Amino acid sequence: MNPRPVAVRWRLPVLAAGGFALVSGLYAALLLLGLPMPAPHVPLEQVHGPLMVLGFVGTLVALERAVALGTRWALLAPACSGAGAVLLVLTGPSLPGRLLLMLASVLLLLIYQRLWWRQPGPALLAQVTGALSWYAATLLWLAGLSVPEIVPWLATFVVATIAGERLELAHLTLPRHGVGWFLAALGMLTAGATAAALWPTVGAYLFGVGLLATVAWLVVCDVARRTVRAVGLPRYVAVGLLTGYAWLALAGLLWAGAGPVTGGSRYDATLHLVFLGFTMSMIFAHAPVILPAVLRRPLPYGPWLYAPLALLHTTLTIRVLVGDVLGVPAGWRWGGVGNVLAVLGFVGGVVAALVRAARRRTRTAVVPPVVPAVR
């Protein structure tokens, strides 16, 4: 008996929970930036990172994998991460919210197990590593470690997952020893995250080297290096990917060259180079491809997509260079506000584009065919 696929009507509430995590995480970011905002009754600032990485990005990843598997039970993974994010917003870093986030990673691993039975390979192994990193991050968080101390695992989750997806697309054009290089970089990344919890200094250096090795593989082997010379959507995707790789390389240099950090301006720079410069660039770039597959609704390409992408990179440059490096508080604060506006602008543009496409499709469907008159 064939498994029943996940209907779109069941995907929408899960996607809405991920969107709620994103908006809540952005609100927490504004609070952390010191803007005069109404403070919620829970310490939202303490869960800003988990909301953005696990509540938002994790829900998107798990939802896309559930759709790829095509079974209803797989929707439990993104449902748990979305519900966990909602609990974090309502109750702060409470035990139930963190447990749901950990359960989501376990269910995601079960999804990958089923996908592995279909088609095993190094690309899927990388994505499994990402899910295991998600599990390790939540497990250490439950064990009492602070969010800054689990950042290497959170970063490994997004980097390994995205690198695995890019390997799937690059397998036909890989250079000799390309897979071996990829697996070695993935091994260094995982070893660095593991060592960071036991020997923070050694682990940070190793983790930074792993990031740099992963970026080098992406730049050399990713098809974006060639499609950036194309036009339309392929060029836009390539621009988003390559700029994201540049930010990830800077984060790798900070980790490999300066060692561990859990606070201050270097922590702010490193954190947002990975989770804004790299991760958000990947989401911006992949949205026109992933969202239609998840929602079964077209997201037409338009040049407007470059506007939020450009705003994201411009304001992140201001935040890191002027705010974190030069120590100008106004540059850090208003660069951060610009980051929030870039993400909200992209989400608003995507929603508007989806609505316009749906209306155009409806109008086309209801127009009766023209029947020539009988003479």
Whether residue 2 lies inside any domain: the answer is yes
Task: Give residue 221's pLDDT.
Answer: 86
Whether residue 63 lies inside any domain: the answer is yes
What's the rounded Cα separation, in Å, for the pair 82 and 78? 6
Task: Give residue 364's pLDDT.
Answer: 66
Task: Give residue 375's pLDDT.
Answer: 39
Number of folded domains that form the chain: 1
Task: Give residue 3's pLDDT.
Answer: 53
Task: Give residue 76's pLDDT.
Answer: 94
One-letter amino acid for residue 284 of the chain: F
Q: Is 0.85 surpassed by the pTM of this model?
A: yes
Task: Give residue 373's pLDDT.
Answer: 44
One-letter amino acid for residue 241 of the chain: L
Total length of the chain: 375
Whether residue 92 lies inside any domain: the answer is yes
Task: Give residue 193's pLDDT.
Answer: 93
Dump pLDDT digits (tens) for 67-103. 988 888 999 999 999 999 999 999 989 899 999 999 9
Whether residue 336 lies inside any domain: the answer is no
Report the b/e string of 143-173 with b at 16+ CB within 10 A: eeeebebbbbbbbbbbbbbbbbbbbeebeee
What's the rounded Cα separation, in Å, for the pair 105 and 266? 29
Closest CA to 261 of 325, 192, 201: 201
Closest CA to 220 of 168, 276, 182: 182
8 A C-beta contact, residue 93 and residue 46: yes
Closest CA to 347 of 35, 7, 25: 25
Task: Give residue 371's pLDDT.
Answer: 47
Whether residue 240 lies inside any domain: the answer is no
Whether residue 308 lies inside any domain: the answer is no
- pLDDT by residue for the chain (375 residues), tens only, comes to 445 556 677 788 899 999 999 999 999 999 999 998 888 888 888 999 999 999 999 999 999 999 988 888 999 999 999 999 999 999 989 899 999 999 999 999 999 999 999 988 999 999 999 999 999 999 999 999 999 999 999 999 999 999 998 888 776 567 667 788 899 999 999 999 999 888 888 999 999 999 999 999 999 888 888 888 888 999 999 999 999 999 999 999 999 888 788 888 899 999 999 999 999 999 999 888 888 888 778 788 889 999 999 999 999 999 999 999 999 999 999 999 999 999 999 999 999 888 887 777 767 655 555 544 443
Task: Give residue 184's pLDDT.
Answer: 94
Whether residue 189 lies inside any domain: the answer is no
Task: Give residue 168's pLDDT.
Answer: 82
Q: Structural domain of residue 66, as residue ranges?
A: 1-120
Task: Give residue 337's pLDDT.
Answer: 96
Whether residue 32 lies inside any domain: the answer is yes
